[in-house]
C-alpha cells in the first residue's frame, strides 16, 4: 500500500488551499475509520440525504438555465459543458445519454473535460489548473448565442473559469454549477447554481455529495430542456432511439400506454409508420392516416401535442 504523496515536481508547482465549504471537515464522520462497515454506510447515507433538498432550494436558478438552453437550441445554437475531474465526467455522461434517450442531435450538447478523453479513465495531473486551455477550447468552439455550463465542485477550478470567461467574451450565456454557495465566480456568470452540500464525509472528496448534487442538477436541467423541446409526450420518451431488443420493446410499450390501443394495433401502426414512434402515436390518437400524421409532425417541429392540435382543427 502506498502512502499519500505529493507530485515529485511539487516544490516547483504552486499549492492552493481552497476555502470552499467542500473542503471543510464533517463533524458527523470524525471517527469514520473506527466504525464497523454498517455504520460507515449509515453515516454516508445520512449525509447523502442532504443533497436533494439542497438542489431543490435552487430550482428557480435551474429553471432560468433551462430557459436559456431552450432558447439557444431553438435558435440553432448549442449547449456546452466544461468541467474537470468528477464534474467533467458527469458532464460527459449527461451529454452522452441525451441522444439515445431523447434522440437529441449529437451537436446539441457538447461536453469538454480538462485533460481530454484520457481524463475520463484516470486523473490527468494539473489539467484542471490550466485556465488558458479552458479559454482556448471555449474560444475554438463556443459561438455567440450558445449556452456554456461550467461544472466545478469548488466553484474556483481554473480550467472551468477560463472557459466561462472566454465564452462570455464570445457572446455566450454562462452558468456555473458548484457546491459552494459563496463562490467568488458567482458574480461573473449569468446564472449561478451554488448547491449547499456542506462538508464531505471524507474531507474534500467531492465525488461524494458535491458530485451527487451535480448529477442531480444535470439530470434535472437536461431532462427539463428535452421536455420543453417536445421530446417527451405526457411522461413518455417518445423520441427514444431503439438500439436493442429491450428498447424496441419499450417503444411498443410507450405506444400502448400513450394511445390505449392493444399491442396488436400498436405493432401494426408502428409497421405502417416505418417504425417511427411519434408518427404512429399521432396517427392512432388523432385517427389520421400515417401520411397526414407525418406531415403534421413536420409542421409542428416534430412535437406530438402540436401535431395533434393541427389535426384537430
Task: Tell me which residue has cell 445520512.
Answer: 46
Q: Is 97 a catalytic residue?
A: yes
Task: Tell me which residue has cell 471555449.
Answer: 138
Q: How far apart are CA 170 and CA 162, in angstroms?
A: 13
Q: How far apart are CA 5 and CA 7, in angstroms?
A: 7
Residues paired with 194 in a beta bridge: 178
Task: Choose among 11, 292, 221, 15: nearest CA to 126.
Answer: 15
DSSP state of 209: H
Catalytically annotated residue among 46, 97, 137, 257: 97
Task: Tell me which residue has cell 406530438.
Answer: 304
Q: How far apart are CA 19 and CA 253, in angstroms?
A: 51
Close Cβ partners of 185 (under 8 Å, ≥ 6 residues apart) = 150, 155, 156, 161, 164, 176, 178, 192
Distance of CA 72 to the CA centre of its chain: 16
Cβ atoms of residues 217 and 196 within 8 Å:
no
Q: How far apart are CA 26 and CA 204, in angstroms?
A: 10
Q: How far apart are CA 63 and CA 281, in angstroms?
A: 29
10 Å Cβ neighbour count for 178?
32
**Which regions of the chain does DSSP assign to beta strands (E)?**
79-83, 109-113, 147-151, 173-178, 191-194
Cell of 130: 490550466
Catalytically annotated residue among 23, 128, 264, 272: 128
Q: Burial level of 37, CB count in 10 A (0-12/13-18/19+)?
A: exposed
Residues paired with 112 in a beta bridge: 82
Q: Is 46 a catalytic residue?
A: no
DSSP state of 36: -
Which residues are catalytic, by number?
97, 128
Amino acid at each position: 500500500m502506498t502512502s499519500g504523496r505529493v507530485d515529485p515536481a511539487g516544490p516547483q508547482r504552486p499549492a492552493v488551499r481552497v476555502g470552499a465549504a467542500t473542503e471543510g471537515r464533517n463533524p458527523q464522520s470524525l471517527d469514520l475509520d473506527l466504525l464497523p462497515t454498517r455504520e460507515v454506510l449509515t453515516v454516508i447515507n445520512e449525509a447523502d440525504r442532504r443533497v436533494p433538498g439542497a438542489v431543490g432550494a435552487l430550482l428557480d436558478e435551474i429553471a432560468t438555465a433551462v430557459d436559456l438552453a431552450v432558447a439557444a437550441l431553438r435558435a440553432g445554437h448549442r449547449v456546452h459543458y466544461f468541467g474537470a475531474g468528477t464534474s467533467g465526467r458527469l458532464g460527459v455522461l449527461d451529454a452522452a445519454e441525451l441522444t439515445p434517450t431523447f434522440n437529441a442531435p449529437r451537436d446539441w450538447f457538447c461536453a469538454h473535460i480538462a485533460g481530454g478523453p484520457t481524463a475520463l479513465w484516470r486523473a490527468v495531473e494539473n489539467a484542471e489548473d490550466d485556465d488558458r486551455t479552458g479559454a482556448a477550447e471555449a474560444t475554438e468552439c463556443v459561438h455567440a448565442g450558445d449556452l456554456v455550463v461550467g461544472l466545478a465542485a469548488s466553484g474556483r477550478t481554473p480550467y472551468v473559469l477560463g472557459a466561462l470567461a472566454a465564452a462570455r467574451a464570445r457572446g455566450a450565456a454562462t452558468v456555473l454549477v458548484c457546491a459552494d454557495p459563496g463562490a467568488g465566480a458567482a458574480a461573473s456568470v449569468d446564472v449561478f447554481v451554488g448547491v449547499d452540500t456542506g462538508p464531505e464525509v471524507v474531507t474534500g472528496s467531492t465525488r461524494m455529495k458535491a458530485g451527487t448534487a451535480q448529477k442531480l442538477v444535470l439530470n434535472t436541467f437536461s431532462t427539463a430542456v428535452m421536455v420543453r423541446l417536445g421530446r417527451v409526450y405526457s411522461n413518455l420518451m417518445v423520441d427514444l432511439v431503439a438500439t436493442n431488443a429491450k428498447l424496441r420493446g419499450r417503444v411498443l410499450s410507450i405506444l400502448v400506454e400513450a394511445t390505449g390501443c392493444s399491442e396488436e394495433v400498436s405493432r401494426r401502426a408502428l409497421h405502417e409508420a416505418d417504425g417511427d414512434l411519434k408518427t404512429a402515436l399521432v396517427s392512432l390518437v388523432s385517427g389520421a392516416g400515417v401520411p397526414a400524421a407525418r406531415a403534421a409532425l413536420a409542421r409542428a417541429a416534430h412535437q406530438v401535442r402540436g401535431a395533434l392540435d393541427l389535426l384537430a382543427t
